[in-house]
Amino acid sequence: MVVIRAEEKFIIETFGNDLIGRIWDFSGIIGYTFERDGSEIKVEFNPDRPDLFSFTTLQSAISCYYDGKRIGPINYINGKVVFSVSDEAIKLRPFVTSFEAVGTAIGNRFRDLIDFQERVHQSIGKNRTKVSIGLHDMKRVVPPLRYVSLDSEKLRFTPYDSSAEMSVHEILSQHPKGIEYSKLLTDTRHVPVIMDSKDRVLSMPPVINGDVSRVSEDTGHFFVDITGTDSRSVAQASQLLQYFLQNSGFSILVTKQDGGMDFRSIAKMDGRSIEINVPKAARILGVEKIREEEISNALLKMGYIKCESSGQKASIDVTVPGNRTDVMGEMDIIEDIAKAIGYDNVVPVVPVLDVIGSSRPDTVLRDRIREISIGLGHQEVMTFVVTSSSFYDGVHREDGIVVHNPKSLDFSIVRDRLRLNILEFFRINKRRSLPQKVFEIGDVIVNGIQKTSLCFAMISPRSGFSDIKQPLEALLQRFGQSIETILPADSEEFIQGRSGTIVINGKKAGIIGEINPASLLKFDLANPVSVFEIDISALTG
């Protein structure tokens, strides 16, 4: 989730007295969380709506919905700033684009702009891995500008939040931003930099900006550079920043960029067309029919640029603004129609079905096993399918399915049996009174094939082979089955001579026995444990 927050005083002074109430009302339309914490206003969004990740853009969307104030499209003007991009720099940070924004001093919205920039970094930019944005005050630099690769040993400049020059090595090893983002530089011997005609460093993307072009509340002429490793993400970030600045009263100027991304391809994102089928929309919305005029009015309220007949029967061409990076197809637009109309205004209709619902056969089997197992005096447990690789230390696994680069080693492997998870359950509950009798019905993956297993386990001072065999026989009897034989089994988990492979109807169905003391010690268990584990398909023959 993405959270934007600001003091109530800031919102009132910047956007007017009624915005706070409107934010609350609009939450029922869009579906975000509004919270007032003392004098602070906090709004929490789903991460799929980066166009709303600032109070400036949220206010624009609200004004569009309630007042009909159009948000887009971007009105592009040809600028004069020349921005050259070298081939060497592209090798380090391959995708680059730029634009200017000209207006009056940004004032109170400056902090909102900086916060919005960081949220785009985190969401679209994946913490600057895909996208890095630089904001510069054009009144403090001298064009033309250029994007080049320089030898880091010969480069020194003053970071935006410092008063002293630093070498690249000092920035990357001592400055907080340098320490955090140095890993994004593929080669620290040569770094990408943006410079003006006086060889002053505006920024070293994706790490840090220079002091020479530092922006402030007084900035009224921005130069925006966007570099990255993914062209689509760079284009999306550019559109989001353009919309923020245009909605703040700035004019968007196209730089004379030589090299890098073609700005025309980015501009085409603003006004892309998606066709929707009117009867399909009505069916999905749950209404008998909906007029094209109703669809058009609903979508214009949601910030779409225009809606017009596509020339195809019962179809509409919808023009999507560039800041709606979440809109990928027809279904996204139909969802916005529903939001604009209001879900409460959609009359509920009970669907007429020609079938009667019933439980799946495997669900019926599980429920029957569960009922019998509880009747035999065992308590059901449910453990995780993705579990800890440490459970398998010294144990042969029947598959090779692991989680690459797991967030936690506790969830790093897909289980191929249930009994190890149950031993962990006994470890967690070892201070509880004994005996403990449990069972689990769960999915496992053995040699790449998903199966459903049933495991019974018992821990007590006298738990033995016969104690666990009795519930197995009772369970099989309820299904009209019986143990054909128990073959000797050689498993490091069990005590030899007190374990075996269960054979039912001529097929190996599972394993039964007493857990080896070494395995018990690994789970810090002091009392004997006996288990059986079978494939539930064996119960039905």
The predicted structure's pLDDT at residue 310: 74
The answer to whether residues 191 and 150 touch, using CB atoms and an 8 Å cutoff, is yes
- The model's confidence at residue 389, banded by pLDDT at 50, 70 and 90, is confident
Tens of pLDDT along 346-365? Answer: 777 777 777 888 888 999 99
The predicted structure's pLDDT at residue 405: 78
Distances (CA, A) of 250 to 61, 220, 518: 17, 8, 72
pLDDT, average across residues 145-166: 92
pLDDT, average across residues 306-331: 89
Torsion over CA: 145, 150, 153, 159 (sign): positive
Taking alpha carbons only, the member of 435, 439, 456 closest to residue 512 is 456
What percentage of the chain reaches a pLDDT higher than 90? Answer: 77
Tens of pLDDT along 99-115? Answer: 999 999 999 999 999 99
How do beta strands 315-320 and 272-277 pair?
Answer: antiparallel
Tens of pLDDT along 27-74? Answer: 999 999 999 888 999 999 988 899 999 999 999 999 999 999 988 899
Six-digit token string for 24: 């609350």
The predicted structure's pLDDT at residue 291: 87
Q: How far apart are CA 214 and CA 137, in angstroms?
A: 6
The amino acid at residue 418 is L
- Sheet architecture: strand order including 306-309: 272-277, 315-320, 306-309
Compute φ and ψ for 90, nearest 5 degrees.
-65, -30
Tell whether the model's pLDDT for residue 320 goes beyond 70: yes
Tens of pLDDT along 254-313? Answer: 999 999 999 998 999 999 999 999 999 888 888 878 888 889 999 999 999 999 887 777
Q: How far apart are CA 8 and CA 6, in angstroms?
A: 6
The predicted structure's pLDDT at residue 400: 63
Q: Which residue has the tokens 């004019």?
A: 251
Element (H, E) at 269: none
DSSP 443: E
Domains and CATH numbers, the chain: 2-67 (3.30.56.10), 77-108+129-231+247-267 (3.50.40.10), 272-344 (3.30.56.10), 361-540 (3.30.930.10)
